Structure 1
């Protein structure tokens, strides 16, 4: 073992990348000053001096107390202790396909109802190596990666997948593995360093100090080659940010921040130039050498990338046409009768030949059969070696391998050396408790919102403009019958507007949907933490918008109630914003498309307004539609503000001759109205003068059918609707974000 002594006044590296780096790479890294992770970048002379100090120690010299030994590992793979081996045998996966109704019966019989995407795939991947899955588009590369990463629903996949001979539990796999999707799903307004830091706070345990997490991020930035881009935002179409290759390396970084044992990647070089693609695979090689198993799909690797790969699996229409080392490709195809020219890229030749065979009458059947016989011949030649390897694997349990990996410095989402009888109990399901997850999620959301203030500014502007228009249209309403009708119209429009302005919450989750699915698929945080954080972060903006709308309209319209009335008016508007935001958030979890979501939101809110009781009283609604009246979100805030406005028993809204307003007698002269009023008084036996109060606020409420709930009950019901839709949003996330194929 090579050993290096580092001084304790610098914290030790937070990962095992440096600890397992072969000495020749360590020497090269020292030449460029690239060893970081909490330790000051040493020069080559300092590094060699430390190696010399260790050799003195091994020869009998005493080591000073202020120095610490860091194990760099052994560069000889045969001497590495307790390696991981991921084996998969006879993987078969098929899906149902839809066929046209116009297809003939003969066509239906010749074409089965299912399509086989994986057909009896077997192989293995080892610690310290990169296994690459190659093939043309539609060959089953991504499907095989998904199968190995447990991204196919249980029961759909046939075959076995084992790690060190033991079946992998779903819970354990989520903790010790990571999956890098083909698309770079990142928050555009966060910098590279912030993106990785948030990933560290999610995936690394809270027992690690802030400085150690920061050191881990710095070491990872150095390893990914992102030092110059650390302070640059990710960027999107409207904001210039990092390059495509840097984005891809950041995507890899957020998934390996916890130093996973298994790393799956779906075409990590897709869309990159040859240099960027080579740098990405070079990073993956370092990750593998740190003690991980790296499995990736790649479409067509270059010659340089091929030199970094350890094992290859070529697929054609779900079948294996080659499995083995890249070095054996020339021999394989030479024995098949198609030797690879020295001037051609091996993988390009292989893929071209596979495509040519796929277009022939017999397809790739001959190549598939030849691969099976070739593999059997190869295994018989290496029978003794394979027996020794099997003996070594039998003595290596998964629990011992994970324990050894943790002791070597693997972070693995807060795993410890203390474990129980099962290997899955060695690591927690989540690295942090839910309140820590909420705090990190809140911080990330606030950071994103602060970087894009125009989003809240536009929403605030819309609320202020709407409030200004309503204030000027309904300026200082009087207490006449027309004033009553105008108040009813103002309240109906104001309450429905608060719900319509919440529609901007629809794209918020839709933009984060796939980031959320990627992060929760491998237990970065709980879904409940996300829902609670999403709700808490929305509250300050809703409070500010409610106060702005209430202050703009209450006093300008001349609503009743004074300060207490204004306070309730503000609360009911806030409750409406809360319920509307929760409702739209729930729909965003159900509907995956923005335009479809807007259409549904506008339609449903229109129905809510229709059945709220403004256009038609409750007692006039047909019995078969009355249920919609009670689930209308607009009903309860509308009734609440009406009771807040018309609850004063001393306030009169219709006096004497005003009772003829809004009737055919409303246009006759005043004197005629007085005579009609006198005649009506004598007929009824009640003295009704022009100043007699005929209709109070309570009468208005009875006319509108608002007699069931008090205004405070309406407020409570509105708030409860908000919580109800948040719970539905959580259930929707549980059911629809499994991130697995069916």
Structure 2
């Protein structure tokens, strides 16, 4: 959930509300719309939050402390800023508060309206190229605004943002923070990490948490931070941006900062390098002093405030547990939006010159190799059968390795959007697997238009369209296998290896290369979409001439069609079940 980071794979956003939100964010007139729909107020409190990660070494395992005893609160209508140097634990704390940290269980208490985290807390630019690593899209600032719009379209009560202003100029950054302030004024609770804000940005925040090495150095009103640090003897000696001053302190840097008398005494008395450095308090000594000062002078009062019950009636407090889980829109609407998005995303891949050239080149080569071949005599039939077998193999092999990449590459996007409960997994899966179908029909059609008539196959409408349907069934079945392998393994290297072995086995067991396949392995042909496709292609071309070609019996074709349809459904069902089991 990093609004400053757009996931690489999905390059198109098609939600109508994103366009409206993005336009409003740009124009600065979105305030009324954000406030128009009331949401459940969320009062977030957290006390004594600790978090450790286990680092496994070659010979030993070490526990590293990331957060230590962090507390704070933020109410509807407020913007809480998390500040601190790199590695201080800002993003980890944000992720913990958002319920998005898996693995080690954090210590302490995090409550929402005095209740623990529940999955029911999670809800609920059109036609504009957002862009990716390979496709030029909108600018960085526009991308951030679209990402924020992407989060607020489900009207959340609680909004988390990780460094939404990083990399932006001061004017754009100020506009983004003003947006967050307006969102909060609509009754939302906003928490954001911030890196090196300008003084104008800093004064826009209602509350501030300052972290240093995973410890709390300050929590309270942002406007009172400078007063507090002045009270413990740390004041800037020159005019400074308050945020710059606070980050210097969190880093242990006290250049151009008045040194508290307690620290001066440590410098005079201390001989250790941990206490002094070049005659000044070391960063470690400054950090220790700041942590101790906050614990003794301010922490108790702030913790007492957290004990005050949330000012919201019991009915609303329990709403997140007793109400039915709601979605922003119907299943059909989710499907239709995701379907349209899928078409717009992948048309650039499907109709790239590289792919079109590849298909046409192979089609022309095949047409020249089998130029106006005659299928009326047995020797020529065997010759044409080789062409039909290649068609079955090519349109079985090609879709498998295209579909393998689908879910592993979109995992990051799916993780982000599903974490915000933007749509049901079933709506995404059905839309993702059906949006390819119209596109999948076009290139095979172009391929067959070239090969079919160049190679001199049966020149009538019926056989041509039956050949087209057969190839299309093969493609959809092969796609299902690729989707199932990709969703099960979620690793491109392993998935590609498994797919290669599987497809080659299916091809070899089909009976074209080996006339008499051993009984103990012959059953594999019935699982092979290549085999069933090959038999159907033979039936379409030669059922009026012969009952058998190359040892392959030509029958009614119902068995082959049934098997291919079962693969179309079965492989996709396996892919969906595998996707549900995957931790997104």
TM-score normalised by the shorter chain: which range applies?
A: 0.7 to 0.9
Q: Is 1:312 aligned with 2:218?
A: no
**RMSD of aligned C-alpha atoms?**
3.8
**CA distance 1:514–1:378, change in 2 (3 Å):** same
- Whole-angstrom distance in 1 between the partners of 2:28 and 2:177: 21
**CA distance 1:119–1:614, change in 2 (3 Å):** farther
Following superposition, the deviation at residue 255 of structure 1 comes to 1.1
Mapping of residues 710-721 of structure 1, within 5 Å: 711-721=557-567
- Whole-angstrom distance in 2 between the partners of 1:636 and 1:159: 60
Greater relative CO (CA pairs within 8 A, separation 6+): 2
> Which residue, out of 396, 401, 406, partners 1:499?
396
| Partners of 1:429 and 1:523 within 8 A in 2 | no
Following superposition, the deviation at residue 399 of structure 1 comes to 3.6
Mapping of residues 497-646 of structure 1, within 5 Å: 497-502=394-399, 503-506=401-404, 512-559=410-457, 563-589=461-487, 601=499, 604-617=502-515, 619-620=517-518, 623=520, 629-646=525-542
> Which residue, out of 361, 371, 375, partners 2:298?
375
- Whole-angstrom distance in 2 between the partners of 1:267 and 1:162: 23
Following superposition, the deviation at residue 175 of structure 1 comes to 1.3
Measured against aligned partners, the alpha-carbon deviations of 1:187-233 in whole angstroms (never above 9, x if no partner) come to: xxxxx2x17xxxxxxxxxxxxxxxxxxxxxxxxxxxxxxxxxxxx64
The TM-score with structure 1 as length reference comes to 0.63
| Partners of 1:340 and 1:349 within 8 A in 2 | yes
Larger radius of gyration: 1
In structure 2, the residue corresponding to 1:523 is in which secondary structure? Answer: coil
**CA distance 1:591–1:300, change in 2 (3 Å):** farther
Following superposition, the deviation at residue 174 of structure 1 comes to 0.8
Following superposition, the deviation at residue 36 of structure 1 comes to 8.4
| Partners of 2:91 and 2:162 within 8 A in 1 | yes
**CA distance 1:507–1:337, change in 2 (3 Å):** same
Gaps of 5+ in 2: 1-16, 18-26, 254-273, 275-281
Q: Is 1:400 aligned with 2:316?
A: yes
**CA distance 1:455–1:136, change in 2 (3 Å):** farther
Following superposition, the deviation at residue 342 of structure 1 comes to 4.4
Following superposition, the deviation at residue 125 of structure 1 comes to 0.8
Partner of 1:89: 47
Mapping of residues 116-515 of structure 1, within 5 Å: 116-153=65-102, 156-171=105-120, 173-175=121-123, 192=125, 194=126, 233-236=129-132, 241-356=137-252, 364-376=287-299, 378-379=301-302, 386=305, 390=308, 393=309, 396-397=312-313, 399-400=315-316, 422-426=319-323, 428-448=325-345, 452=348, 455=351, 459-475=355-371, 476-478=373-375, 482-502=379-399, 503-506=401-404, 512-515=410-413
Following superposition, the deviation at residue 266 of structure 1 comes to 1.2
- Whole-angstrom distance in 2 between the partners of 1:270 and 1:593: 31
**CA distance 1:376–1:296, change in 2 (3 Å):** closer
| Partners of 2:511 and 2:517 within 8 A in 1 | no
| Partners of 2:80 and 2:206 within 8 A in 1 | yes
| Partners of 1:399 and 1:423 within 8 A in 2 | no
Following superposition, the deviation at residue 457 of structure 1 comes to 6.3
Following superposition, the deviation at residue 373 of structure 1 comes to 1.6
- Whole-angstrom distance in 1 between the partners of 2:425 and 2:30: 37
In structure 2, the residue corresponding to 1:612 is in which secondary structure? Answer: coil
| Partners of 1:91 and 1:159 within 8 A in 2 | yes
- Whole-angstrom distance in 1 between the partners of 2:230 and 2:32: 47
Gaps of 5+ in 1: 1-13, 15-31, 39-69, 74-80, 177-191, 196-231, 402-420, 652-696
Following superposition, the deviation at residue 148 of structure 1 comes to 1.1
| Partners of 2:340 and 2:435 within 8 A in 1 | no
Count of residue correspondences = 530
Following superposition, the deviation at residue 118 of structure 1 comes to 2.8
Following superposition, the deviation at residue 619 of structure 1 comes to 2.5
Measured against aligned partners, the alpha-carbon deviations of 1:222-272 in whole angstroms (never above 9, x if no partner) come to: xxxxxxxxxx64345666543211221121112112332111001111222
- Whole-angstrom distance in 2 between the partners of 1:377 and 1:496: 73
Following superposition, the deviation at residue 302 of structure 1 comes to 1.9
| Partners of 1:91 and 1:160 within 8 A in 2 | yes
**CA distance 1:365–1:125, change in 2 (3 Å):** same
Following superposition, the deviation at residue 306 of structure 1 comes to 0.8
Q: Is 1:731 aligned with 2:577?
A: yes
Following superposition, the deviation at residue 292 of structure 1 comes to 0.8
Partner of 2:5: none
Measured against aligned partners, the alpha-carbon deviations of 1:518-560 in whole angstroms (never above 9, x if no partner) come to: 2222221111111111233222223333433334334443446
**CA distance 1:37–1:582, change in 2 (3 Å):** farther
In structure 1, the residue corresponding to 2:50 is in which secondary structure? Answer: strand
- Whole-angstrom distance in 2 between the partners of 1:456 and 1:580: 21
Following superposition, the deviation at residue 576 of structure 1 comes to 1.1
Measured against aligned partners, the alpha-carbon deviations of 1:336-387 in whole angstroms (never above 9, x if no partner) come to: 443333412233233233333898566844433332222245459xx7xx49
In structure 2, the residue corresponding to 1:127 is in which secondary structure? Answer: coil
**CA distance 1:98–1:423, change in 2 (3 Å):** closer
In structure 1, the residue corresponding to 2:110 is in which secondary structure? Answer: strand
In structure 2, the residue corresponding to 1:255 is in which secondary structure? Answer: helix
- Whole-angstrom distance in 1 between the partners of 2:338 and 2:580: 18
In structure 1, the residue corresponding to 2:332 is in which secondary structure? Answer: helix
- Whole-angstrom distance in 1 between the partners of 2:40 and 2:535: 70
Following superposition, the deviation at residue 718 of structure 1 comes to 2.0
| Partners of 1:330 and 1:340 within 8 A in 2 | no
- Whole-angstrom distance in 2 between the partners of 1:364 and 1:627: 71
